[in-house]
Amino acid sequence: MPLELWLAGVVMVSLNLYALGAGADFGGGVWDMLARGPRERAQRETIAHAIGPIWEANHVWLILVIVLLFVAFPVAFAALATALHIPLTLMLIGIVLRGSAFTFRGYGGQDDAVQRRWGRTFAMASVVTPLMLGVCAGAVASGAIRMRGGRVVTDFVSAWLAPFPLSIGLFTLALFAFLAAVYLTLETEDRPLQDDFRRRALLAALAVGAMALVCFLLSSSGAPSIRRGLAREWWSLPFQAVTGLVAAGAIGALWTRRFPLARVLAMAQVTLVLWGWGLAQFPYLIEPDLTFEAAAAPATVLRPLLAALGAGAVVAGPSLLYLYRVFKAR
Amino acid sequence: MSDLFAARSQMAMSLAFHIVFASAGIAMPVLMAVAEALWLRQGDEAGRALARRWAKGTAILFAVGAVSGTVLSFELGLLWPAFMAFAGPVFGMPFALEGFAFFVEAIFLGVYLYGWDRVSPRAHWLAGAMVALSGTLSGIFVVIANAWMNTPAGFRLEGGRVVEVEPLAAMANSAALSEALHMTLAAFAAVGFAVAAIHAHRLRREPRNLFHRRAVAIALTVGGTAALLQPLSGDLSARVVARSQPAKLAALEGQFETERGAPLRIGGWPDEAARRTRYAVEIPYGLSLLAFHDPHAEVRGLDEFARADRPPVAVVHVAFQVMVACGAAMALTALVGAGLFLRRRRLPDAAWYLRLVTLTGPLGFVAMEAGWTVTEVGRQPWIVQGVMRTSEAVTPMPHLAFPFVSFTILYLFLAAVVIVLLRRQVFASPRLGADAAAEKG
Ligand code: HDD
Ligand code: HEM
Ligand code: HEM
């Protein structure tokens, strides 16, 4: 396998882990905003408790994605940062406000007004960030970012401010909220509280399904080449069937209160969606003008980079497992 | 405001903000580990209360450091896409290594902050030590990347294209060692002095408070040691600059003419129109001696460089004077403290000395901001010294004043909140015993 494909794989794995970890942390923010009913306070506390120790570690996956892009696929990094300047900036503001508001709320004393103010900021930022992340992904997939001679030739707005990227943004938001609600069923032993999260997970699953349909309908005009790619490839039908089955399975497991199973299936669902996108778009990093191969840095860079990633994984991997063992033993 | 100027201002503002929190991320874990070790080994209650208290502050500072660092990683592309397309593969390796240091840091900080009652005391202490180690390493890696911008290495240019890229040779560039050393010491000096100052201020009011006594002792030992070493490390930095960036050295010193046996200028104002530095105290042969260790060495002046290749002289010169003055004041304070300690074998707690420590408290951060101004503005007009100009690197995106102003407002707001929270949560004096019980709950 060519070197750049290994790196593309690492980027996808990192993005995948970011979605499974930080994605759920953002989803937690959504449920913080929508906390209702007699157990409103308990819901918020469970969410804060679940996110607290792990959000910073989850967040580092995004940094790894960025760094890998600019070291291994520098032309693509420059092009994305140029064409998506505005949604990326909005996403950054969301990231800054989410992280700091969450921490400020945790350490800001028990004053109710203060708590509520930071809580609201935290929750709003948790909506903006996944939305913008999805918009950026949708813009990349749509084929609207055009390049010539290694430079972006489209304007700074039209590629992302369009129905298809926006619907992908909402889809991402729904997916993260679903993931969070499923995880949260395992963060408490209190049966009514568990039911709150179970109900939310089921509702979110409906939203995910609805948004998936909207994205699919919009893709014929919004992302034609991906749509064509998906229709033509031999693997695409079985792949979509498996994704659908897993999604249905997750709902079934929630319905029958098999929460650990629901968690596994929800994680598999998010993973399949992400890789489905990646495979449908392959060999393009940015549809339709930049392939992974054309964007790749020279082999003298990629080889030591892969070695560094391997060495880093030896250190970070066990540490990450330790963190999850200490705080997420169930 | 031109777009280039807005981009430069946004980069400078984001870095100047991040560096404060990043320094805390490097040095605070060391202070906490020392305090916790006092408790583990000697059963010192004050050590335990301190570690808990400092951990609260560190949690706040670290979160802001992490999010502002994320902003920086994106800004490299948002503001300087042409630079990253060219330089990413060459100088990116330390950023990739830094990524793993971040993982280790964030993971063990999580264990440290939330694991007081979940892991054994030893494991808890080790988690703190891991945070300290990986924090220091992240600082070193990113500064190596910055050093590459000053002394690029590890590639060749062939008709405008980079060839023969060797990331490891790029990491081993000639400024890497001196910059990494100087920055690491700076983090310990600045944070040590700032923390010592806050607790010294309280200790003056409550001379018997054991909590503040321990805090001053730990912070002053760490900060003072670094401050004493800093002028030596600064000398090394200056000699590297003299060899590799002569225009920066000339700007730093306000040296307009090429000269043998050049004097060291203290203070003064470089007058670019008149091409001389006015009102400076001049020490004959000083500059040649310091920069090249030879009183008759030739120092190249700014006149040798085309106007378009010169950095803004006044900013760089004044910033350099500020850094050195702060460094001298801090080193002297540390020296006096060490003298008092050696004579009486106890914490130097005379009211006048505590007041001195309080006054020098902010100087480390002032020196750090000034030092980065020297490094970064002194490199202008180059983004990569001698290879790529800042103006060639900037994004084609228009209206850059808009994100600059937005991020500035956002960061000012965050800074204000952090100050309020630290005052309320961290600086207040606890009563030992009662406090330890309260902190547990
Ligand atoms: C606590 C902070 C602090 C203190 C007390 C000093 N410095 Fe410094 N200095 C820094 C913090 C700093 C810094 C902010 O960390 C810089 C910016 C880049 C770097 O590597 O360190 C720096 C850069 C820097 C440079 C430019 C390096 C370059 O452009 O590559 C020189 C020549 C010196 N310093 C020299 C000194 C001298 C002679 C000092 C004498 C006391 C001194 N510094 C004290
Ligand atoms: C170690 C990591 C750092 C890297 C990789 C880095 C990189 C950069 C880049 C890419 C620019 C924009 C291009 C240019 O103007 O040359 C810049 C400018 C600047 N940076 Fe840094 N920087 C680092 C650390 C810092 C820190 C900690 C400060 C703190 C104050 C700082 C202060 C500035 C300033 C003042 C400018 C504007 C210079 C000018 O345009 O006149 N830098 N830096
Ligand atoms: C262009 C320059 C820089 C970039 C792109 C950058 C990037 C980052 C990022 C992404 C993080 C967050 C990591 C996390 O989520 O845990 C971070 C934190 C950190 N940075 Fe920077 N950084 C830069 C400059 C610097 C400089 C000059 C130092 C100086 C020593 C530094 C030291 C640190 C440290 C120690 C941390 C972790 C502690 C904390 O979050 O407070 N960085 N940086």
Q: What is the tens place of the pLDDT at every residue in A3-36?
A: 999 999 999 999 999 999 999 899 999 999 888 8
Assess whether pLDDT exceeds 60 at residue A202.
Answer: yes
Residue B209 main-chain phi, psi, to 5 deg: -70, 115
Task: Please check the confidence at residue B54 and state whether its pLDDT lies above 60.
Answer: yes
> Which pLDDT does position B438 carry in this prediction?
42
Q: What is the pLDDT of residue B64?
A: 93
**Residue B380 domain-assigned (yes or no):** yes
pLDDT recorded at residue A280: 85
B144 located within any domain: yes
Percent of chain A with pLDDT over 70: 98
> B95 contacts in A (CB within 8 Å)?
67, 70-71
pLDDT over 60 at B436, yes or no: no
* Predicted interface score ipTM higher than 0.85: yes
Domain count, chain B: 1
Give the model's pLDDT for residue A105. 84
Nearby residues of B238 by Cβ (< 8 Å), 6 or more positions away: B249, B252, B290, B291
pLDDT reported for residue A222: 84
Cβ B145 under 6 angstroms from ligand 1:
no
How high is the pLDDT of residue B18?
97
Ligand 2 mutation target, pool B1, B15, B83, most atoms within 8 A of CB: B15
| Residues B335, B342: Cα–Cα separation, whole Å | 11
CA of B234 to the centre of ligand 1 (A): 5
**Ligand nearest B373 Cα, by number?**
2
Give the tens place of pLDDT for each residue, B195-234.
Answer: 999 999 999 998 888 889 999 999 999 999 999 999 999 9
Nearest atom, ligand 2, residue B383 CA: 16
CA distance B410 to B170: 35
B55 → chain A, closest CA residue: A107
CA distance B326 to B324: 5
Residue B441 is predicted with a pLDDT of 31
User: Does residue B251 sit within a domain?
Assistant: no
Tell me what pLDDT residue A1 has: 76
The answer on pLDDT for B345 being more than 70 is yes
Q: How far apart are CA B348 and CA B367, in angstroms?
A: 25
Nearest residue to B247 (alpha-carbon basis) of B301, B289, B290 = B301
Res A110 pLDDT > 70: no
pLDDT at site B300: 93
- Contact across the interface for B92 and A320, Cβ inside 8 Å: no
What pLDDT is recorded for position B104? 92
Angle between helices B45-79 and A74-83 (to 10 degrees): 80
Which tops the pLDDT comparison, B346 or B24?
Answer: B24
- Whether A258 has a pLDDT exceeding 80, the answer reads yes
pLDDT class for B17, splitting at 50, 70, 90? very high
Assess whether the previous peptide bond of B381 is cis (omega < 30° from 0). yes
Residue with the bigger pLDDT between A278 and B13: it is B13
- Tell me: pLDDT of B160 over 80: no
What value does the mean pLDDT take over residues B88-115? 91
Report the percentage of chain B scoring pLDDT > 70. Answer: 96
The tokens for B247 are 């225009």
Query: Strands, DSSP E only, in chain A?
Result: 147-148, 151-152, 284-286, 290-291
- pLDDT band of B69, cuts 50, 70, 90: very high
Which residues on chain A are in Cβ contact (under 8 Å) with B169?
Answer: none
Pick among B72, B74, B86 to test the A interface (most A CBs inside 10 A): B74
pLDDT at B332: 97
Here the tokens at position A133 are 């992340």
Q: B143 near B375, Cβ under 8 Å?
A: no
Specify the amino acid at residue B418: V
H or E segment at A302? helix A299-327
| Angle formed by the axes of helices A112-142 and A163-184, nearest 10° | 130
Minimum-distance ligand 2 atom for the alpha carbon of B379? 16
Local confidence band at B429 (pLDDT 50, 70, 90 cut-offs) = low
Distances (CA, A) of A231 to A228, A235, A321, B415: 5, 9, 39, 52
Q: Which residues of B touch A3 (CB under 8 A)?
A: none
Q: What is the pLDDT of residue B405?
A: 95
A109 in reach of chain B (CB within 8 A): yes
CB of B253 closer than 6 angstroms to any ligand 1 atom: no
Is the residue at B196 inside a domain? Answer: yes
Amino acid A328: pLDDT: 77
Mark A186-222 as b/e (b = at least 16 C-beta within 10 Å): bbbeeeebbebbbebbbebbebbbebbebbeebbeeb
Q: Is residue B291 part of a domain?
A: no
CA distance B190 to B413: 23
pLDDT digits (tens, 9 = 90+) for B280-296: 898 989 899 999 999 99
Residues of chain B found within 8 Å of residue A319, distances taken between Cβ atoms: 103-104, 107-108, 130
Residue B425 pLDDT class (50, 70, 90 cuts): confident
Task: Give residue-wise pLDDT tens across range A213-240.
Answer: 999 888 888 888 888 777 777 888 888 8
The C-alpha atoms of residue B198 and residue B31 are separated, in whole angstroms, by 14
Assess whether pLDDT exceeds 70 at residue B440: no
A244 touches chain B (CB under 8 A): no
Strand B269-271 and strand B264-266: the pairing is unpaired
User: What CA–CA distances, in Å, run from A181 to A59, A172, A289, A320?
Assistant: 19, 14, 39, 22
Q: Answer whether residue B142 is part of any domain.
A: yes
3 state SS of B389:
strand
What does the pLDDT read at residue B433? Answer: 46
DSSP tag of A152: E
Q: Is residue B110 part of a domain?
A: yes
Of all ligands present, the nearest one to the C-alpha of B81 is: 2
pLDDT at A6: 94
Q: How confident is the model at residue A55, as a pLDDT?
A: 86
Q: How far is the CA of B335 from the centre of ligand 3 (A)?
A: 31
Q: What is the domain range of residue B41?
A: 3-243+311-427
Which residue among B323, B332, B363 has the greatest number of ligand 1 atoms within 8 angstroms of its CB, and so is best to mutate?
Answer: B323
Mean pLDDT of A111-136: 89
User: Tokens in use for B48?
Assistant: 């335990």
Q: Give domain status of residue B272, yes or no.
A: no
Instruction: For chain A, state the CA radius of gyration.
Output: 20
pLDDT at B430: 62
Provide DSSP, A70-93.
HHHSHHHHHHHHHHTHHHHHHHHH
Please compute the mean of the pLDDT values over residues B303-308 and round it to a whole number: 89
Are the CB atoms for A77 and A9 separated by under 8 Å?
no
Q: Which residues of A touch B60 (CB under 8 A)?
A: 103-104, 107
Question: Is residue B437 scored above 50 in pLDDT?
Answer: no
**pLDDT averaged over every residue in chain A:** 90
Model confidence at A281, pLDDT cuts 50, 70, 90, reads confident
Q: What is the CA radius of gyration of chain B?
A: 23
CA proximity to B225, closest of B389, B34, B39, B81: B34
Report pTM: 0.93
